[in-house]
Chain A
Amino acid sequence: MLVLAGTIPIQGLPLLAGQGVLTPEGLVINDHVLDKNRGTAAMMTTVAVVCKKYGLRPPLCVVAGDTGKRDGSSKVYAYLTEHLEELHPEVMAFHYIMPDIVRNNRLVKAIKRLERKPLLIADAGSMYVAKAGGHAPYYDIFTPDMGELAFLADEKADHPAYTRGFIWHMNQEVHELVHRAYHWKNAANILFVKGSTDYICRSGQVLTSISQPSVPELEAIGGTGDTITGMLTALAYRGGDLIEACMIAARANREAGSLAKPTPATQVDKIIECIPQALHKAETSLVESLMEGASRVQDSSAMVANGENIVTH
């Protein structure tokens, strides 16, 4: 099962654990309609959209209302810790939640007791607490933006707000920040760094970067990071290579942005509407680039056979 967890900014919203159903009004969980323009609901809506496109089983969504008072977050931590085994999670994505080291430690312990470890993806507060609690390497994917990458790179910071200035100023030095994050064991197996250029990293190395199509306005639009996490989560659930899933999610988010023709004032629901078409474009483009790469390899092999020099860039 695909399990998504996070909080919703509605005071008093009870704990909901049910299938996320797409409706024209928004994402519906146990008869509650959630605004898809905000945080966790934007991520969950994106997952539901991608699952629908590929004919996957809809996600199980675990949410509770929390406006920063910790109440809803505590309920989500407790529910997951107590019910994990019966959920049979294959992929779990954790999102906006109050960082709480003690409760998250309990949750990680419960995950470790499962017969089979699910694929773990963390973004937002869930990523902060995974790092602060010293569990980062146990997770499979983190999806930080550049500010959050600086936080992961700072071995002393418990929260992005505490990132030391000299590290925060290293925003152009992505390779160094990535190296530091892995060196201090504050990175998941894969880091998907979101920004004007997206970086996909594993084991301390930047494997690839994606910067096209370039839509600078996306950085200003709240939720455009959540759509990446959502697409990546659903693609990971579909199966296949995780790095390829990251590449498709990166490209598709940019294509969706490009299709929506946004301004910095655009809201994320306009981007989400374009995701099915954008995914098609992104997958086509990945297949084309893989075929191009394969033909280059063939050409290179022929050149080697002919004794010619090869220069790579």
Chain B
Amino acid sequence: MELVALQALNFVYISLTLALVALGLAVVFGLLGVMNMAHGEFVMLGAYSVLVVQNAGLPLLAALPLALAVCAAFGWLLEFFVIRHLYRRPFDTLLATWGLAILMREIVEAVFGRDYKSVNQSLPGTVEVLGAVYPAYRVVLMALMVAFFAGLFLWYRRSNTGARIKAMVSNPALATAVGVNTAVLARGAFIFGVCMAGLAGVALAPLVRVEPYMGIDYLLSSFFILVVGGLGSLAGLLVGSTVIGGSDAIVSAITSKTGGYMTVLVISILFLWLRPNGIVSRD
């Protein structure tokens, strides 16, 4: 029973964190069509923000504004100098951001060094949930993530930002004609996306390794989540995270972690092949 509760909590946790990490890419890739290979590096920027704040003796929450500011600044620079020339050339965005990812890693390495950093748990210790001993920080984080996604869902439904972005991407000329400032909207969406990646980095920093190469962990899984779930919708993002996180968690629990990893790859391949529009498809 305790083991079942533990596995269930793990399942919820992995699904939520995957969704949080992939959220930024859902905007940048799902809506703008930019195959941002530097996505993981923005997660890394968020994590290093926590480190800076911790070294300065400030509480974890102070890392939020810092991470958002840093990611927004980097995001603006990237969008202005590189990405905006490449909208509608998805493969070229892939190549360019691949180079940018290397640059960002090298910058962080030059500033912070190559070594592993440890971010303190701001909420150490464990609590008992449904009979299972679970890390306190994770429990709080899970609650916050549920609230965050609920809020985002409501906002997204009510605002028509998503619709405007989709309209812009599918027909830029028409969107311009009806008064959508496509350049500003695209830049805003890109910056929002990378800031969400940074936010995920802040949230996860106390739990994971922090080093310049950490971004790789988050990049590929995010892409697979989006294609499995379906591009361009929040529901797709959550479904994709649940399928990817869940199949990994379940297969890993029954067989081995390698089995779980290979299952995720096979599931991704099957979806990309048979149902490229994802589970939550819009047509």
- Whether chain B is bound by chain A comes out as no
Chain A residues near B (Cβ < 8 Å):
none
